Amino acid sequence: MSVLRTAVTGTGQLILAVGLIWGAARLPGIKDSSLSPTLAHELWTAAVSAQRAGQFGETLRHLDPLLEAFPENPLYLSLLAESFMATGQFASSAAAWERFIPVAPFSIDACPGLGRAYEALEKNTEALDAHRRCLAMDSSKSDLMLYLALSVERNGTRGEAERLFRSVLARSPGYGDAQLGLARVLIRNGDLRQAEPLVIRALADSPENPDALLVAAMMAEKKNDPDTGIRHLTKAIRINPRYKDLYTVMARIYASKGDTAATARTLKAMP
């Protein structure tokens, strides 16, 4: 959903030209530059080529002089934000997206990247605000509504999360992530009757999906069936051993069984 993806797929030459014209035009707020259009073209081409090759450090190196000369160029800021995200520099990514929004012709291209960067920083309040801002830019987009629903759920507001997940599903009935989100909220609220068909469908559609297996384990836990829950979680951990929530729920289930050794072992294995 970013400008960068447009730049590297299909209409790259047009977007490249827009970026260079933007920089060369010396718009208000843009520093006087010693960079010629030719040099700017070379630097941008090198930055995009490095990004395509997954060499994000090189991308950032080529962007430095471009942004020194043209600090409000949204094309450069978009690539900066995505490169920072790819290199684990989440605070810098969020800051770049925040710089991007007021100067970009289409601010929505910062979405959902801005909220995702804050989530990576575990700044849930800032992430929630970012996702709200994004949905306000275009309330018709189911993806942006889903990101907001997930953020609201993460912040513990179940009623609003349920309404948002249902709204997504009203627009896109087969949206698996929204089905799983709604199932999680219903399970936490103890509404197993409504949650169970969603869980069964998720497992049938994606039996190797760790999110589906996690929700199935949560359902088993609520139904006082710890062994089934452990079985789902063991399978999910084999598929994605870096997924922390799997260990959290597994430890909780072991603790409910009174198995302190397995609880400790699970917590110790948590990435």
Judged against a pLDDT cut of 50, whether residue 1 lies above it is answered with: no
**CA–CA separation, 259 and 249 (whole Å):** 14
Judged against a pLDDT cut of 60, whether residue 9 lies above it is answered with: no
pLDDT value at position 34?
73
Token digits of residue 83: 């490169």
Judged against a pLDDT cut of 80, whether residue 97 lies above it is answered with: yes
Is the preceding omega at residue 105 within 30 degrees of 0, hence cis?
no
pLDDT band at 33 (very low <50, low <70, confident <90, very high): low
Average pLDDT over residues 113-119: 98
* Range in 11-15, 98-102, 108-112, 204-208 with the lowest mean pLDDT: 11-15
Domain span at residue 79 reads 1-109
Count Cα atoms within 13 angstroms, Cβ side, for 156: 2
Amino acid identity, residue 234?
Answer: T
**CA–CA separation, 102 and 114 (whole Å):** 13
Judged against a pLDDT cut of 80, whether residue 18 lies above it is answered with: no
Residue 176 lies in a domain: no
Residue 54 lies in a domain: yes
* Range in 12-26, 53-67, 115-129 with the lowest mean pLDDT: 12-26
Number of domains in the chain: 2
pLDDT band at 216 (very low <50, low <70, confident <90, very high): very high
Residue 100 lies in a domain: yes
Q: What is the CATH number of the domain that holds 261?
A: 1.25.40.10
Judged against a pLDDT cut of 60, whether residue 19 lies above it is answered with: no
pLDDT value at position 35?
86
Average pLDDT over residues 122-146: 97
Query: Widest CA span of the chain, in angstroms?
Result: 70
Residue 203 lies in a domain: no
The chain-wide mean pLDDT, for the chain, equals 90
Per-residue CA distances from 83 to 5, 42, 87, 114, 179 (Å) = 13, 18, 6, 13, 31
3-state helix, strand, coil in the chain (%, to 5): 75, 0, 25
Residue 175 lies in a domain: no
Cα pseudo-dihedral 176, 179, 185, 188, rounded to 10: -90
Residue 140 lies in a domain: no
pLDDT band at 10 (very low <50, low <70, confident <90, very high): very low
